[in-house]
Amino acid sequence: MSLFTRNALIALLITVAIIGTVLYAVNFLNQQRVAELRSIEDQLATDTLSIETQFALLEEAPCEDIAAGTISQEVGGVGDKLAYAEERAGANDPEVLRLKERYTLLQIRDYLLTKRLSETCGVNPVVALYFYSNVPGECEECDRAGYALSYLRQTYPALRVYSFDYHLDLAALRTFISVLKVHDGEFPAFVIQGKPSYGFTSLEDLEKAFPKSLFATSTTKASQ
Amino acid sequence: MNLEILAYPFIFAAIYFEAFFLVTLLSAPAVASRKRTASTNTPMVAMIVPCYNEEQTVSGTAESLLALDYPKDKLRIVLVDDGSTDGTASIMDSFAHHENVTVIHQKNQGKHVALNAGIAAAEDAELIGCLDADSFVDASALREMIGGFDDGRVAASTAAMSVHTPRTILERMQNAEYIMGIACRHILAAVNGIYVTPGPFSLYRRDVVVELGGFRNGHNTEDMEMALRIQKAGYAIESAPLARVFTKTPRTVPALVKQRTRWTTGFLRNMLNEYRDMVGNPQYGALGLLVLPLGFLAILGGIMMFFLVIYQLISQGIQMLMITSGVPVAYTLSTMVPTFANASWFYLPVSIFALLGFVALAGSILFMVVGKNISKTPAQLSVGVIAYMLVYGLIAPFWLLFSVADVATDNRRAWK
């Protein structure tokens, strides 16, 4: 075998090994991302239990003893992480889907508790429910709407935003959607202060759907 | 469709080429070549300097030849003025008083004609060296190259080129690239895969050059054409990594693009015409099966990657503008700046494309370091390497595009 042939074959093996290593490394990192999400599962379970406990306590304890913020800081960023992992590992990754379902459940529970606090204790946080669709072509404006809501949430900490994948196969979400009477096929959909609205045109228009008190009394992060 | 997929074959080829280089660098012939010491043989050598309007540098070139560590009675220096219109001719004449210097004046007919005139005037030379009039040889360069001719199959040898006193970013970038070229030629010589004997300084067996009919215009790349003709005739081309030569390089981007367009156009025209049969031909070993096909692939890949990056930048830019429209710019900017608060390995933008690109780039840097070490070139590489990584990819697509366009439209550009 000539030197050229021998070196060409060895080079091919090295190239395949390098590409294999890169593929493994990228896959490993994606798996680590999912594992990171999995590690939040315990926190999700704790938060869910905490909310249920607060529900029970609400029957007996005075309002001032109930904490208004229920979702912990660790879980707070899970939405962003889920979105990123979904992009990397794929929307159909079973682990991502499972965590998405749990996170959705937690958000519903948190919303219900917030609503109960509002009714029972007169606490009045501004709440926005946001329904998006990942089905290609079904929601051209969802990226814009999501970005605008992120801006509002960052700028006005008093605003509570809950995001839901409309087509997530979860019985509780289906019931939640039917209770709220959110129509299918019209995305993005919002329920702001209990009132459903559909479509997104601009941040300005979206802001009109919120009570003026949000903008008047909130301490904006931008000004801090 | 993810357009990144289109780039994968080119990245694969780049990594494969680098892996081949690495394996060959460590193979016995390359190791033996690095161990070779400067020759004590002193065959008759004629150094030919073809020159057209090089009044700024020709004096330094001639001085460096006179300072070569070689017996004066075995070294003839032939300065050929190819009808210069500046002060080159009189500067050349000022060297005529040296016993071993011959000055030839001819009307402007091109570099290849000037080289042939020099060869004709050096009938007693066994070896002929061709040195551009903007290049300066190290005193030991000739002795370093002569050892390669101990093998009777060797018809030519290339030197270790780097940039003469690089100062600007552009010069330092080219210096890093040239130094990488030293490693590449050294490695390719081990499998006889060299396809160009660079003009700044190459040494030839005179009888082979005469046998092959002397230099030709070679689509304005006479050095490449001669190397291909030597390879086609069944001879070998050596490389002497310690034969240092320092050359002037373009100092502006347009000048660099013009020079490289000439080189690339020359490659394409030689390959598509006279030497088409060498591409993919197993008879020519590494040159036919690997080096020449990858030359084409590099041109195609460079152009495709350029358009791919432009497309991605534009499409992502438009998408970002659409998503962020209406939201205060200050907020958008704040989300773009990474902070310790949101820094996390979780969001590392690691992809197959990015990692493979990193491997290919790391390979290039490795060969720059290898080139510097094996040639012992006194160069500060760091700025050049950074410039190469950041700037080269922005400029190279232009000369690749111009070259392809020139070949497609049969546009012939002037040398200077």
CB contact under 8 A, A151 and B327: yes
- Separation of alpha carbons B305 and B302, rounded Å: 5
Greater pLDDT, A218 or A120 = A120
- Closest-CA distance, B327 to chain A, in angstroms, reads 7
The mean pLDDT value for A165-170 works out to 92
- Closest-CA distance, B236 to chain A, in angstroms, reads 14
CB contact under 8 A, B356 and A147: no
> What does the buried/exposed string (b/e) look like for B300-336 if buried means 16 or more CB atoms within 10 Å of the residue's CB?
ebbbbbbebeeeeeeeeeeeeeebbebbeeebbeeee
Interface membership of B26 toward A (CB under 8 Å): no
Residue whose tokens read 């709440």: A127
- Residues of A with Cβ-Cβ distance to B31 under 8 angstroms: none
List the end-to-end C-alpha distance of chain B, in Å, as a whole number.
Answer: 44
**Residues in A lying within 8 Å of B, measured between beta carbons:** 2-4, 7-8, 10-12, 14-15, 18-19, 22-23, 25-26, 29, 33, 36, 81, 84, 143-144, 147-148, 151, 154-155, 202-204, 222
Q: What average pLDDT is seen over chain A?
A: 83
Q: Which residue of A has its CA nearest to B23?
A: A7
Regions of chain B short of the pLDDT cut 50? none
CB contact under 8 A, A204 and B351: no
Question: ∠ at Cα A159 (A155, A164), nearest 5°?
Answer: 110
| Structural contact between residues A131 and A188, judged by C-beta atoms closer than 8 angstroms | yes
CB contact under 8 A, B20 and A8: yes
Which runs of consecutive H residues, i.e. helices, occur in chain A?
3-58, 73-76, 78-89, 94-121, 142-155, 171-180, 203-208, 212-217
Select the residue of A10, A23, A203 nearest B326 (Cβ to Cβ): A203
Cα B388 → chain centroid? 14
Select the residue of A10, A81, A148 nearest B23 (Cβ to Cβ): A10
Reading the block at residue B236, the tokens are 């070998």
DSSP labels, A123-182: ---EEEEEEE--STTT-TTHHHHHHHHHHHHHH-TTEEEEEEETT---HHHHHHHHHHTP
Q: What is the pLDDT of residue A58?
A: 72
Q: Which residue of B has its CA nearest to A142?
A: B323
Residue type for A35, please?
A
pTM above 0.95, yes or no: no
- Closest-CA distance, A166 to chain B, in angstroms, reads 21
Interface membership of B293 toward A (CB under 8 Å): no
- Separation of alpha carbons B227 and B193, rounded Å: 10
CB contact under 8 A, B29 and A18: no
Select the residue of A22, A144, A147 nearest B359 (Cβ to Cβ): A22
Torsion of CA B323, B324, B326, B332, to 10 degrees: 170
CB contact under 8 A, B285 and A2: yes
Q: What is the pLDDT of residue A222?
A: 40
- Residues of A with Cβ-Cβ distance to B292 under 8 angstroms: none
Question: ∠ at Cα B81 (B76, B87), nearest 5°?
Answer: 120
Chains A & B: contacts with CB separation below 8 Å? 88
- Residues of B with Cβ-Cβ distance to A203 under 8 angstroms: 326-327
- Closest-CA distance, A47 to chain B, in angstroms, reads 22
Which runs of consecutive H residues, i.e. helices, occur in B290-392?
292-324, 329-336, 352-375, 381-387
The mean pLDDT value for A23-49 works out to 82
CB contact under 8 A, A222 and B24: no
Q: Is B195 helix (H, G, I), strand (E, B) or coil?
A: coil
- Separation of alpha carbons B18 and B7, rounded Å: 17
DSSP labels, B228-252: HHHHHTT-EEEEEEEEEEEE----S
Q: What is the pLDDT of residue A220?
A: 46
Q: What is the pLDDT of residue B400?
A: 96
Q: What is the pLDDT of residue A62?
A: 67
- Residues of A with Cβ-Cβ distance to B324 under 8 angstroms: 147
Assess whether pLDDT exceeds 60 at residue A194.
Answer: yes
Q: What is the pLDDT of residue A221?
A: 45
Using pLDDT thresholds of 50, 70 and 90, give the confidence band for residue A119.
confident
CB contact under 8 A, B323 and A143: yes
Provide the ipTM. Answer: 0.88
- Separation of alpha carbons B22 and B19, rounded Å: 5
Assess whether pLDDT exceeds 50 at residue A140.
Answer: yes
Greater pLDDT, A98 or B211 = B211
- Residues of A with Cβ-Cβ distance to B32 under 8 angstroms: none
Select the residue of A2, A29, A147 nearest B324 (Cβ to Cβ): A147
